[in-house]
């Protein structure tokens, strides 16, 4: 995570608080119900593993938007859990969309991002957000960040930070996905 001692409002106004516990930030997730902002990159060259997506095109699916940067150690360490999550929920209708927003200058190079996507074994769509336009649209401040979106395109849960199977962040994301899949009745593969 970018800051481990930040206390205050984050992301969508008045819906998510980050509280410092010891030296590690812990996240309290909240129901936001704010519309997912439109994707800010529409060129084919700004997307990996997919043609450009639209938020409207995702309606009808539960979506996990994953904001990350390849040199972010917290992001890197979350990748095994993310791949397992995709395997677990892929046939139930979850769609994962990565948003790669660089933390360091070397992460702005599309070929380097593409190489890391292959290295990490990511097969879901990834939008390249080198200009931080989507980061700003989300009002995001951290890597990694997990936005769980309902089938109507509303952000319902936001979780900040590294996630591992069984930890509180992973459970928060998984519980939100389970709830939204049950609520929406989505059971088909979205890809």
* pLDDT of the residue at 15: 38
* pLDDT of the residue at 184: 81
What tens-digit pLDDT sequence spans the chain (191 residues)? 443 323 233 334 333 333 333 334 556 455 568 999 999 999 999 999 999 999 999 999 999 999 999 999 999 999 999 999 999 999 999 999 999 999 999 999 999 999 999 999 999 999 999 999 999 999 999 999 999 999 999 999 999 999 999 999 999 999 999 999 999 875 554 44
Q: Are strands 24-28 and 17-21 parallel, antiparallel or unpaired?
A: antiparallel
In a domain, 4, yes or no: no
Number of domains, the chain: 1
The whole domain housing 130 covers 30-184
Q: What is the pTM (predicted TM-score) of this model?
A: 0.84
**CATH code of the domain covering residue 132:** 3.40.30.10
* pLDDT of the residue at 3: 39
In a domain, 61, yes or no: yes
In a domain, 155, yes or no: yes
Q: Which two tokens stand for residue 134?
A: 């989507």
* pLDDT of the residue at 33: 84
In a domain, 15, yes or no: no
Task: Note the pLDDT tens digit of each residue in 19-49.
Answer: 333 334 556 455 568 999 999 999 999 999 9
Task: Note the pLDDT tens digit of each residue in 45-58.
Answer: 999 999 999 999 99
* pLDDT of the residue at 27: 61
Which residue, chain included where needed, has tokens 């702005």? 108
3-state secondary structure of 170: helix
In a domain, 22, yes or no: no
Gap between the Cα atoms of 184 and 181, Å rounded = 5
In a domain, 114, yes or no: yes
Cis omega (within 30 of 0) for bond into 165: no
In a domain, 21, yes or no: no
In a domain, 25, yes or no: no
Buried (b) or exposed (e) across 90-118, using 16+ Cβ within 10 A?
A: bebbbbbbbbbbbeeeebbeeeebeebbe
* pLDDT of the residue at 6: 30
* pLDDT of the residue at 31: 57
């Amino acid at each position: 995570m970018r800051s481990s001692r930040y206390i205050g409002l984050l992301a969508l106004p008045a819906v998510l608080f980050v509280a410092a516990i010891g030296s590690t930030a812990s996240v309290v997730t909240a129901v936001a119900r704010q519309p997912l902002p439109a994707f800010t990159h529409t060129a084919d060259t700004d997307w990996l593993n997919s043609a450009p997506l639209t938020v409207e095109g995702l309606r009808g699916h539960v979506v996990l938007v994953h904001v990350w940067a390849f040199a972010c150690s917290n992001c890197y360490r979350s990748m095994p859990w993310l791949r397992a999550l995709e395997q677990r929920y892929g046939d139930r209708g979850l769609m994962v969309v990565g948003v790669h927003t660089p933390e360091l200058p070397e992460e702005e190079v599309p070929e380097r991002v593409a190489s890391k996507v292959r290295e990490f074994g990511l097969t879901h769509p990834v939008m390249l957000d080198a200009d931080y336009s989507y980061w700003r649209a989300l009002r995001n401040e951290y890597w990694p960040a997990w936005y769980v979106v309902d089938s109507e395109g509303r952000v319902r849960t936001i979780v900040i930070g590294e996630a591992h199977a069984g930890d509180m962040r992973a459970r928060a994301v998984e519980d939100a996905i389970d709830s939204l899949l049950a609520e929406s009745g989505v059971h088909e593969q979205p890809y």
